[in-house]
Structure 1
Amino acid sequence: MSASDSGSGKSRRGRGQHFDIPNTLQIRKKVLSHIAIRFKDFKTRLTRLYVFGDRQHENPSQHYTFTEEDWMQFCASRESEEWKFTRPQKQPIHDTVIHEDDDMAEAEDDPISKLVTKLPRLKKASLELYWDLRVFGLPPHVPVYITFSDALEVIEGDRMLNISIIQLWCMYMDTIVVDQGRSSMYGFVEPQTIQPSGNTLQNRQHYLQTWMDESKRDIYLVPYIDGSHWQLMVIIPKQCKIIWFCSLHRKMKNDLRTMLQGVIGKSRGQLVQILYPKVCNQQVDSWECGFYVMCWIKTIIRAVITDDWNEDGRLRDVYRIDVRRTPDVKRPKYRT
């Protein structure tokens, strides 16, 4: 114990403690994968806000540890021919995000098989997709970029999923909701906009409040990333309830609860009730959380679950999800 910890009888977190992290290939891969994901999300945020967004006249090099020359090169790369795009005509809301073709005929309701058929195209260039305004309640100023590496993350099923994949999954599941005729029942919240990193408390609350007031959905499915861990909130505004799914079995943090209370509870004059499933999936590896969030969302929508959240029997299909055996996330068999 260090001198700074003396007198308390207990060591303080982050002081006087040493952690013996094994220098193994698996640990190195996980650390590098985590760093790569955070760096990619950081570049996506810079592109969204400072290259194409409301802050494009600002210079972020004043706030971050890169030079103005590096920033100019980054902007030039985003404005190059390779990155240029033509925004497609707005499609009817009943059209799917990825259109079917003859090669996808047998991939009905199998998004992973659809994604496999896109691999040759993704290897040549990244895929740019715009969400419809009705999906997240936000105008799509910047498209969702899906790269070859992103596709492999989902198909191979052994790496942490980044925000682009979760955004794409919500876009896909929204088409399912529309096809089911339940667009007034289920809604989605954009995960990048509500994460604490890079967003003020006021902006997060304003987005949630505005979107829920305007869309008036019965249930909102909210993927939430805390550091590098994905969790799922199922928000029912009319009942002032939130169902919290976490594959690490963590409780909701107080700052998140306070933020949600300021949106959902304040407008109804009551405390938000947080429900924790009595039985919930528990991840084994560090990367599984994003896949569980994808599976939970799909199962809730496919089973049309709207109530009885605190009863084991009603959600047994959700609780029994195994990402190692679920067709949507396991490695598919390639055609020969």
Structure 2
Amino acid sequence: MVLRSEEDIRIPLEHEPNTARFFIPAKCIRELLVGNAWLDFSILQLWCTCMHRLCISRNRSKVFGILDPVCLDFNPADPSTKSKVQGHIQTRLRDLNKVCYLAPYLFKGHWQLIIICPKDNSLVVLCSMHRDLNEGMIKIVSKALEVHQLCQGNRKKAKWFRPKPRKQPNGNDCGYYVMKNMLDIISANITKSWMEVFNDPTALTEDDLYDLRNQWATCFLDLYNT
């Protein structure tokens, strides 16, 4: 994650109540707009607010919850950080009461999208490299949902789904694929049939990438001018 500098731009976030304002490095914005660069935490954080606004505009606020990627970041060697992440997920599941939660997750420089669906007792990972989650995060998310379900009187074990979605052709574009999957899920109101819906490994086109950058920039300018 890029450290704050005098070039950082302060803007409001709306998807995460515990983060009233945050600073986005100007360097990360330039890299996004130029393209062909790996996306930083701050870019995906702002995209979460874009998706939060999309939920409101499409009248889907009761369907989708957005989890901030920074709140999912943990140190595999530090058990206390794992407990903190699990506690955060459990709190959000309890307080928001959504059908599905979309959680952009970064591990060792690679972005993946975790989807938590309490009502169906299902968990999904969408990865543009067709990899599974690391074992630590699998345990954290599984345990968080298990505890939440037990509080609801449900003792059934959650089922994981691992579709084969669009596949990136390089090592830098994983953030864009997470952005695109979040956009598609909310736009089409997708809450189930994950294996059938995300079964096309075709790479994103340059037009797709341009559209994502354009939507991100539009939301950024609107937030910046707020």
TM-score bucket (shorter structure): 0.7 to 0.9
Report the RMSD for the aligned CA atoms in angstroms: 2.4
The answer to whether the aligner puts 1:151 opposite 2:151 as a matched pair is: no
Provide the secondary structure at the position in 2 that maps to 1:238.
coil
Which of 130, 145, 152 is the equivalent residue of 2:12? 130
Shift of 1:147: 3.3
Which letter maps to 1:235? I
Checking the alignment, whether the CA contact within 8 Å between 2:55 and 2:186 is kept in structure 1 is yes
Shift of 1:181: 1.1
Checking the alignment, whether the CA contact within 8 Å between 1:156 and 1:331 is kept in structure 2 is no
Q: Tell me the equivalent position of 1:26.
A: none
Q: Work out the CA distance in 2 between the residues paired with 1:214 and 1:220.
A: 12
What's the CA shift string for 1:118-148, capped at 9, x where partnerless?
xxxxxxx54311223xx23x4225x222233
Q: Tell me the equivalent position of 2:60.
A: 182
The answer to whether the aligner puts 1:303 opposite 2:182 as a matched pair is: no
Which of 196, 213, 235 is the equivalent residue of 2:74? 196
Which of 26, 38, 47 is the equivalent residue of 1:160? 38
Checking the alignment, whether the CA contact within 8 Å between 1:280 and 1:319 is kept in structure 2 is yes
Provide the secondary structure at the position in 2 that maps to 1:247.
coil
Which letter maps to 1:266? V
1:239-278 → structure 2 map (5 Å cutoff): 239-268=120-149, 269-277=155-163
What's the CA shift string for 1:27-62, capped at 9, x where partnerless?
xxxxxxxxxxx4x1xx36xxxxxxxxxxxxxxxxxx
Provide the secondary structure at the position in 1 that maps to 2:207.
coil
Change in Cα spacing, 1:323 to 1:224, as seen in structure 2 (3 Å) is farther
Q: Tell me the equivalent position of 1:228.
A: 109
Gap regions ≥5 residues in structure 2: 150-154, 216-226
What's the CA shift string for 1:259-302, capped at 9, x where partnerless?
1121102332232211011x322222211100111111111111
What's the CA shift string for 1:186-220, capped at 9, x where partnerless?
11101111112386121111111111101101111
Change in Cα spacing, 1:166 to 1:331, as seen in structure 2 (3 Å) is closer
Q: Tell me the equivalent position of 2:89.
A: 208
The answer to whether the aligner puts 1:171 opposite 2:49 as a matched pair is: yes
The answer to whether the aligner puts 1:217 opposite 2:98 as a matched pair is: yes
What's the CA shift string for 1:8-38, capped at 9, x where partnerless?
xxxxxxxxxxxxxxxxxxxxxxxxxxxxxx4
Q: What TM-score results when the alignment is normalised by the length of structure 2?
A: 0.82
Structure that is richer in strand per residue: 2
Q: What TM-score results when the alignment is normalised by the length of structure 1?
A: 0.56
Q: Work out the CA distance in 2 between the residues paired with 1:257 and 1:330.
A: 30
What's the CA shift string for 1:67-108, capped at 9, x where partnerless?
xxxxxxxxxxx7xxx6xxxxxxxxxxxxxxxxxxxxxxxxxx
Which letter maps to 2:119? K
Query: If you compute each CA radius of gyration, which structure gives the higher value, 1 or 2?
Result: 1
Q: Work out the CA distance in 2 between the residues paired with 1:319 and 1:179.
A: 29
Q: Work out the CA distance in 2 between the residues paired with 1:195 and 1:324.
A: 30
Q: Work out the CA distance in 1 between the residues paired with 2:114 and 2:182.
A: 10
Tell me the number of residue pairs that the alignment of Structure 1 and Structure 2 aligns.
206
Change in Cα spacing, 1:227 to 1:328, as seen in structure 2 (3 Å) is same
Q: Work out the CA distance in 1 between the residues paired with 2:147 and 2:213.
A: 42
- Higher RCO (Cα < 8 Å, 6 or more apart): 2
Which letter maps to 2:167? Q
What's the CA shift string for 1:157-193, capped at 9, x where partnerless?
2111000000000101111110111111111101111
Checking the alignment, whether the CA contact within 8 Å between 2:130 and 2:165 is kept in structure 1 is yes
Q: Work out the CA distance in 1 between the residues paired with 2:214 and 2:187.
A: 22
Q: Work out the CA distance in 2 between the residues paired with 1:200 and 1:301.
A: 30
1:86-165 → structure 2 map (5 Å cutoff): 126-132=8-14, 135-136=15-16, 138-140=17-19, 143-165=21-43
Provide the secondary structure at the position in 1 that maps to 2:206.
coil
Shift of 1:323: 4.8
Which letter maps to 2:177? Y
Checking the alignment, whether the CA contact within 8 Å between 2:125 and 2:161 is kept in structure 1 is yes
Q: Work out the CA distance in 1 between the residues paired with 2:104 and 2:186.
A: 14
Gap regions ≥5 residues in structure 1: 1-37, 45-77, 83-124
Checking the alignment, whether the CA contact within 8 Å between 2:111 and 2:178 is kept in structure 1 is yes
Which letter maps to 2:95? E
